[in-house]
Chain A
């Protein structure tokens, strides 16, 4: 049986946080689209350095290696939950230890953390050697559509990250964990999730960039 405090506190917390979230998002969408006007096309900007089939085949083969040598699928999003767990342990250790997700998935310095941090290094290495190092605060396509306010970009990117991480944890993975590793194992959950990633993504992107 649930104790009264157990049933009451989530009921109070959720509508509040969810309504804040929806309010913030609506505001952002209004701000963003009110300022927008220019019709943008992604193909006006530089494409990939390598054939997407070559990069894709490389990622497929990399997944053989991670399964064989590390007994782990490629994934990225749970790293951010681990980071959140470390920050939580620094700020409010007792509260952090009481949370269900961290009881099931204790934060650790492990394969996953090293893997994601190394992605940054790999990205830098590839960009610098390929002459594609951007060194910019705003993506050019964003600027063309929404102007050069870093604050607007920061707010939208932060809200996006927040929603995306929440969605990833609820769905059980991100574009790597579900989108590549789960789909290639023919996991039903991953195919449902990845189709929903694109439905949600296409809907909001069209609203932001085409409306």
Chain B
């Protein structure tokens, strides 16, 4: 039987709903809105643009991502150098990154949208994104059910902790950022020259 007193005590101890402060939520809403507009205008909410990338016919996705990486990287490392922002580095776990990455890719090809672009596709009136989003919730639940097991097994395979590429190669961060930005820009120039879209 449910004891109401006990239920109330439990709820107080472990609140059902944690809500962030309003300014934080407003910032999230504005940034999300901007991200949605940029993704839609960049064409990456469209099924054929995303699948076209995986079929190596349409390189819009690579162009958007590489440009975002170059611009974002230069700004974030500059801001970080002047102690204006924190880095948010997820740990490298080679087993998880590879197995999870391959499963993600396979799912991406089947669904035709990724978690962020599915939201854009839905806003854009591509209603099939709803089926994919239901799958995303189910798949998250499946992972959570198995999270005790993955934590004991796969997540321990090749657990290197937080690793940045420049640290791995023993190159100063500033030097690496400049060199990498040039290399990625060169890649973008090649993409622009040799792809039709």
Residues of A at the B interface (CB closer than 8 Å) are: 10, 13-14, 17, 25, 28, 41-43, 45-50, 52-74, 76-77, 79-81, 83-85, 87-89, 93, 97, 99-102, 104, 106-127, 130, 132-142, 150, 153-206, 208-210
Query: How far, in Å, is B81 (CB) from chain A's closest CB?
Result: 13
* Distance of A61 Cα from B87 Cα, bound (Å): 15
- Among B47, B103, B176, the most chain A Cβ lie within 10 Å of the Cβ of B103
Q: How far is the CA of A130 from the CA of B92 in the complex (A)?
A: 40
Interchain CB contact under 8 A, A123 and B40: yes
B24 interfacial contact with A, CB 8 Å = yes
The tally of residues in B whose CB lies under 8 Å from a CB in A reads: 135
Chain A residues, CB < 8 A from B43: 47-50, 52, 55
Chain A residue nearest to B75 (CB atoms) is A64
* Docked pose: A198 CA to B56 CA in angstroms: 10
- Chain B: which residue is nearest A118 at the CB level? B32
The 6 A-B pairs of least Cβ separation, nearest first, read A122-B36, A161-B135, A200-B105, A42-B52, A48-B43, A196-B101
Rounded to whole Å, the gap between the CB of B39 and the closest CB of chain A is 7
B57 interface residue (CB < 8 Å to A): yes
With a cutoff of 8 Å between Cβ atoms, the chain A residues found around residue B27 in the complex are: 69-70, 111
Q: B136, A188: Cβ atoms under 8 Å?
A: no
Are B55's CB and A205's CB within 8 A?
Answer: yes
A144 to B172 Cα, complex, angstroms: 51
A102 → chain B closest CB, angstroms = 6
Q: Is the CB of A163 within 8 A of B19?
A: no
Given A187-B92, A206-B55 in contact, is the A119-B68 Cβ separation under 8 Å? no
Q: Return chain B residues, CB-CB under 8 Å to A89.
A: 16
| Residues of A contacting B173 in the complex (Cβ-Cβ under 8 angstroms) | 186
Contact between B116 and A110 (Cβ–Cβ < 8 Å)?
no
